[in-house]
Amino acid sequence: MPGFLSKLLPTAPSSHDDDDNYHNTEYSFAMEYHGPPVSYDLPLAVPVDIDQVPTAAAVASASLLDNSSVPVIQPIVMGKRLSKQLVDKLKIGSEITALGEPAGLIARGSSGALGSLNGDEGAPKLLDGIRSSRRFGFSKIHKDSFELLGSADMLQLPNDSKDGTRSPGRFGFSKIHNDSCELLGNSDMLQLPTDCMDGGGLEDYLSHASVDSSKSSVSSEVLSSEDSQREQPCHVKEPSSVTFRDPESVEIFQEKSSHAKARNINGRMASERNVKKGLCYRCLKGNRFTIKEVCIVCNAKYCSGCVLRAMGSMPEGRKCVTCIGSPIDESRRRTLGKCSQMLKRLLSDLEIELIMRSELMCEVNLLPYELVCVNGKFLSQEEMDLLQGCPKPPKKLKPGRYWYDKVSGLWGKEGHRPCQIISPHLNVGDPIKRNASNGNTKVFVNSREITKVECWMMHLAGIRCVGNLSLWLSADGTYQEEGQKNLIDPIGNKAQIRLLCAIFSLPFPPDSANPSGGEVNNPVNEVALNNLDQKALHKLLLVGSDRSGTSTIFKQAKFLYNVPFSEDERQNIKIMIQTNLFCYLGILLEGREQFEEEILTEMRKNQSADGPSPSGNTRLVCDKTIYSIGPRLKAFSDWLLQVMVSGNLEVIFPAATREYAPLVEELWKDAAIQATYNRISELKMLPRVASYFLDQAVEVSKMDYEPSDVDILYAEGITSSNGLACTEFSVEDVNLDPHNQPSTLLSRRFELIRVHPKNLGGNCKWLEMFEDVGIILFCVSLADYVDEFSDDLNGFSTNKMMESKKLFERVATHPNFEHKDILLILNKFDLLEEKIDQSPLTKCEWFHDFSPVLSHNYNSRNSVNNTHTLAQIAFHYIAQKFKELFYSLTGHKLYVSAVTGLERDTVGEAITYARTILKWDEEKKPNYALFDSSYSLDTTTS
Amino acid sequence: MSVAELKERHMAATETVNSLRERLKQKRLLLLDTDVAGYARAQGKSPVTFGPTDLVCCRTLQGHTGKVYSLDWTTEKNRIVSASQDGRLIVWNALTSQKTHAIKLPCAWVMTCAFSPNGLSVACGGLDSVCSIFNLNSPTDKDGNLPISKMLSGHKGYVSSCQYVPDEDTHLITSSGDQTCVLWDISTGLRTSVFGGEFQSGHTADVLSYDGSHHYVNTSEHIKSVSISASNSRMFVSGSCDATARLWDTRAASRAVRTFHGHEGDVNSVRFFPDGNRFGTGSDDGTCRLFDIRTGHQLQVYHQQHGDNEVPHVTSIAFSISGRLLFASYSNGHCYVWDTLLAKVVLNLGSLQNSHDSRISCLGLSADGSALCTGSWDTNLKIWAFGGHRRVI
């Protein structure tokens, strides 16, 4: 296309840039006349040089676009006479922005509608004229620039009207050369002047640019681009200077683009805004004595009128909106959680509390772990969490090098005497070095050469310290000479020593009575503990169609990993069991009526076939079948069925359970009911566990009934509302990876979430809520192939296996689970073994081509000669069917596991399998699962 | 009577019902000689014009770490409660854009939240099938968490939506995935009445089985949303996955006052029109519709043609204070401002500068109508206000 166009255009449009051919050629609109000479003047069509179209410059690249921040009004110094100044810092996403608007809009919007705190102050700052002219002038140009450059960014526009001859409404636009844009895109040369702290630097530099009006006043120095210097001046009538620069944004950009660099260690140090000391960075008012709040990242100071605007909703504490997500300035670490009186005046206590809490707790503000070095080894995230999460963490931890005596818990700066005793035996850092505290006493305590002060201390404590002495000091303060058995008295008991320790500022072992006082409410500690919990939390989503046994698996998992059932849960299950008892009975009674009726009609038919006979007599005989019950029970039965039909079962029960318990038992023991129960295969709704509970009806119905573990396991469901259930458990992963570093934590935490399919909504809409799960356990009951699932209203009946298949398809193809692993749990293998003999697998249409090849001496139950049983073959066949289905849907591998819900071991195996799959995943993409996204920068490079 | 016979009769009855419904539909179509837009055009109305600066984002509420699913304003003060997938409810001060409460929920899968009329408590519900009430003034426990002051349990499916009955702090209506809506008495924690469900004429799966086009495969009949009339707090509408909306009277729980057909997909959002005689719906079929509760007619369809085949779902809707504007957010990230009279899109919030980076999942207008709050999957909430000298409409 460009080549073709350049042929069409004999005079090459000037200064094509190879990287921007597309735009340039689009803008050439005429060909030069090459015909025979004519007498009149030829109209000349001058090709438009894109480089000369005045544009607002865009800085940096699209990589910034994901840094979501709202436009902020950033103050800059303006002329002294016209002290109305404005810097608009715009962040342009995909939208085209009219420069100059946000300030006005925000001011207007807030003052109009919400009655903002600052609305009255903010609006008058902008003269209406200025505002409108600005908006008008900029928006067009800006659009152009956007089109041209295709990438847009933060623009900062300081308008310097120092000498007052220029009206603030006039703006010149300088363009940015494509080359310079390119330069921006990939160079690290964008070191911005950092010396314009107090305004002088930038102003000087700006005035220099504006004096030289023949030059473009683009901040070419800033861009350090020769090309932009060479550009012709733009069509600015009035000398004015416009600088497009934004130190911060560029720095962010650098951070993001150069993944090779470590995390910006010191945070973004002093903000490079040209603000005089004592002024508010936003409104440029005030003096040194007005109270201001300081951004903990860039040290920008804001007065009470501006702080809320500049800092927004402070999701990470007191940071400018643009600084959100950046690590804090380490020198301000000690001010974390302590805000100024001014902020306290502005906001309510509740608000302050939450801001300070998030300031202390949020992850970006935590001490960067890679800056803390213990015994010569820089820490990892886990070690850091361990260190800060321990009962007695080091106080006022700062980046630096420390030594840590694991045996005694002594803690100090490298090359210095101990300063604190923290929790001992933490698996943090390397073993301690001999010269850790730079001692020269030849006395060794836990293989660290102690310092002079310590040595004196030991003298005073009555311990002989001469020559090459090696001592062992344990955490409770007892000394032991190396190679000897006798314990030396704990020095901690002597009050005198305690005093001396305080004088020499040496740490002192704590009273044993008060081992860990005062540490409870330390939020950093809390975060670290939280991190320890959360870091390794893997989520397993357990889902399956109705009655596929997900709840049994869930309960088994709880038993397996010793997660106790809470009092609430037990109460819930108790109520469920008691209610279900009557449901089971109801189903049985219904069945009984049906069977009785069937037999009666049968008998009547036989009778009428037998011919006329004295009707009275026969009726008497006929009415008694094996399904008949006595009148008293009959009355109860009728009443119960009535209640069930009306749907009020839950209203009456389980409150009335106890009253009816004897009746229930009597009914259950009645021969008629037993006869009915024997035909359980015809009672589709009746679960197998019914007899288990009916057998102990009286027991179960008692008020003080406490469900045993078996009862809980057998009970249907987990909660009466069929809501979501989740449980957490941790597993020591020692066996899975023997080569794992011994120093890191081995225990991994898992959360098993069980969802009822009904809860997922039509088309599994709510699956989107589970996008962060690691693996999906999809549960299918193997026995389902025989069960017809009747779609009650239209009389359609679907095979339950097909129903499961449909759900499986929906889960597997859900867009949020595109790359998720699925472990198919084929449950109720025991039932399959039972049923496969009675009804063939081909009963389900999906399995129509199941034709097992069986050995001659086939025995379905025990395979004597190493052949598989029919059930096993069926299992493999079904698994294969699902695998094929999954592959055709997603192109991925499906993991399958056979489980018998009531056998704990099989459930355990399946969950272990799921954990192994997760482990494989982690090994495949280590940056994904192990590290939080905010730390992935470092891990890719290290 | 044998089962087979019963089945036969049931089939016949279903058939009759469906044919009657079809006739009703035809009749309605005959009667429907115009819609709002047609009439307004005939009257020479001109659409509302919106410059890109007339509605501007003036606050960004940052603080959630997960997708925002729901929000609600207080009636008198400028406070907002929002529910997010990070398992927290946050109560915001819309003026200062600060958080006043951050409530960690026992079940992280929250779908809806609501502010009580007196502004003293908030309610939320989600996949745990329970509607939890938090009293904002109750003391926090030692971890800084607000304890649940009441749990309304009884639903058999997720709680998709909850709303307080206007001016009654003790009554709340929830809708659920179990096909029912429930009116709760918060002080006792018990159900006052249950609307719909298996035994009543609630939302049922059969509703669309007569639909010849079979455009929509009904798999469930989960109720997605409720809206209570502001003018008559005894009336409320529910929108359901069976593509219908139903009008209920809280005094007569046994059956719906009226059922509104027309949508071809799940009804995700229902909102009463400010005058209380109409209500709007937003659906998976990509349209918003306006229904009249007195006639039962559909008044207007708000549908924007899209080039591609993918029809964006309407995720949430809200009316402006006068009803002239309908804000509707779509699953593709757009958020249209409809002129309800002329059925024209006058503004797309999603394409404005500094709009959300991701889909807008919930919308809400402040009580005085001066500000719109949007919650998005990009974890932020934004407050939009009418800019300049523009009158609040």
For A577, half-sphere exposure in the C-beta direction (CA atoms, 13 angstrom radius) is: 32
* pLDDT band at residue A571 under the 50/70/90 scheme: confident
Give CA–CA dist A857/A865, Å, rounded: 9
What is the full DSSP assignment across A636-676? Answer: HHHHHHHHHHHT-HHHHTTTTHHHHHHHHHHHHHSHHHHHH
The verdict on a CB contact (< 8 Å) between A95 and B61 is no
Task: Residue B160: list chain A partners with CB under 8 A.
Answer: 761
Q: At what angle do helices A550-560 and A904-924 cross, to 10 degrees?
A: 80
Identify which has the larger pLDDT, B335 or A716. B335
Instruction: Using a pLDDT cut of 70, give the percent of chain B over it.
Output: 91
State ipTM. 0.83
- Determine how many CB atoms are found less than 10 A away from the CB of residue A858: 12
Residue A806 above 60 pLDDT?
A: yes
The pLDDT of residue A181 = 37
Give CA–CA dist A295/B332, Å, rounded: 36
Give CA–CA dist A356/A354, Å, rounded: 5
The verdict on a CB contact (< 8 Å) between A105 and B53 is yes
Mean pLDDT of the B311-329 span: 91
Q: What is the pLDDT of residues A902-911, one digit of tens each?
A: 888 888 899 8
* pLDDT band at residue A220 under the 50/70/90 scheme: very low
The pLDDT of residue B355 = 87
* pLDDT band at residue B174 under the 50/70/90 scheme: very high
The verdict on a CB contact (< 8 Å) between A113 and B206 is no
Task: Residue B244: list chain A partners with CB under 8 A.
Answer: none
* pLDDT band at residue A796 under the 50/70/90 scheme: low
Structure tokens at A304: 């009470």
The verdict on a CB contact (< 8 Å) between A71 and B199 is no
Structure tokens at A43: 């109209």
Mean pLDDT of the A395-417 span: 80
Least confident of A54-63, A359-368, A740-749: A54-63
Give CA–CA dist A313/B62, Å, rounded: 6
Nearest to A785 by CA among A701, A871, A719, A725: A871
How big is the CA angle at A753 (ends A749 and A754), to the nearest 5 degrees?
150
Instruction: Decide if A100 touches B, using CB distance below 8 A.
Output: no
3-state secondary structure B28-65: HHHHCCCCHHHHHHHCCCCCCCCCCCCEEEEEEECCCC
The pLDDT of residue A86 = 35
* pLDDT band at residue B135 under the 50/70/90 scheme: very high
Q: What is the pLDDT of residues A298-335, one digit of tens each?
A: 888 888 888 888 888 888 888 888 888 888 888 888 78
Give CA–CA dist A110/B382, Å, rounded: 13
For B86, half-sphere exposure in the C-beta direction (CA atoms, 13 angstrom radius) is: 18
Q: Nearest 10 degrees: CA dihedral of A478, A482, A484, A490?
A: -10
* pLDDT band at residue A850 under the 50/70/90 scheme: confident
Residue A236 above 60 pLDDT?
A: no
Q: What are phi and psi of A455, to 5 degrees?
A: -60, -45
Mean pLDDT of the B147-165 span: 89
The pLDDT of residue B71 = 94
* pLDDT band at residue A31 under the 50/70/90 scheme: low
* pLDDT band at residue A781 under the 50/70/90 scheme: confident
Least confident of A398-402, A518-522, A663-667, B48-52: A518-522
Three-class SS state of A181: helix
The pLDDT of residue A309 = 83
The pLDDT of residue A484 = 64
The verdict on a CB contact (< 8 Å) between A114 and B378 is no
Q: Which of B98, B283, B356 to mutate to test the interface with A (most CBs of A within 10 A)?
A: B98
Rounded to the nearest angstrom, the minimum Cα separation between B154 and chain A is: 6
Instruction: Note whether A479 and A463 are within 8 A (CB).
Output: yes
The pLDDT of residue A81 = 41
Mean pLDDT of the A548-557 span: 87
Residues within 8 A of B (CB atoms), A 592-651 only: 646-647
Instruction: Decide if A763 touches B, using CB distance below 8 A.
Output: yes
User: Could you tell me which residues are beta bridge partners of residue B247?
Assistant: B237, B258
Task: Residue A95: list chain B partners with CB under 8 A.
Answer: 351-355
Three-class SS state of B130: strand
Q: What is the pLDDT of residues B182-198, one digit of tens each?
A: 999 999 998 888 888 65
Identify which has the larger pLDDT, A213 or A448. A448
Q: Chains A and B: how many Cβ contacts under 8 Å?
A: 187
Question: If you measure CA to CA, which chain A residue comes closest to B86?
Answer: A769
The pLDDT of residue A131 = 40
Residue A848 above 60 pLDDT?
A: yes
Instruction: Using a pLDDT cut of 90, give the percent of chain A over it.
Output: 2
Instruction: Decide if A575 touches B, using CB distance below 8 A.
Output: no
The pLDDT of residue A764 = 72
Rounded to the nearest angstrom, the minimum Cα separation between A114 and chain B is: 6
What average pLDDT does chain A have? 66
The verdict on a CB contact (< 8 Å) between B129 and A719 is yes
* pLDDT band at residue B173 under the 50/70/90 scheme: very high
Task: Residue B101: list chain A partners with CB under 8 A.
Answer: 350, 354
Residue B147 above 60 pLDDT?
A: yes
Task: Residue A92: list chain B partners with CB under 8 A.
Answer: 353
Question: If you measure CA to CA, which chain B residue comes closest to A522?
Answer: B143
Residue A184 above 50 pLDDT?
A: no
Give CA–CA dist A424/A409, Å, rounded: 4
* pLDDT band at residue A233 under the 50/70/90 scheme: very low
For A732, half-sphere exposure in the C-beta direction (CA atoms, 13 angstrom radius) is: 4
Give CA–CA dist B111/B125, Å, rounded: 6
The verdict on a CB contact (< 8 Å) between A113 and B385 is yes
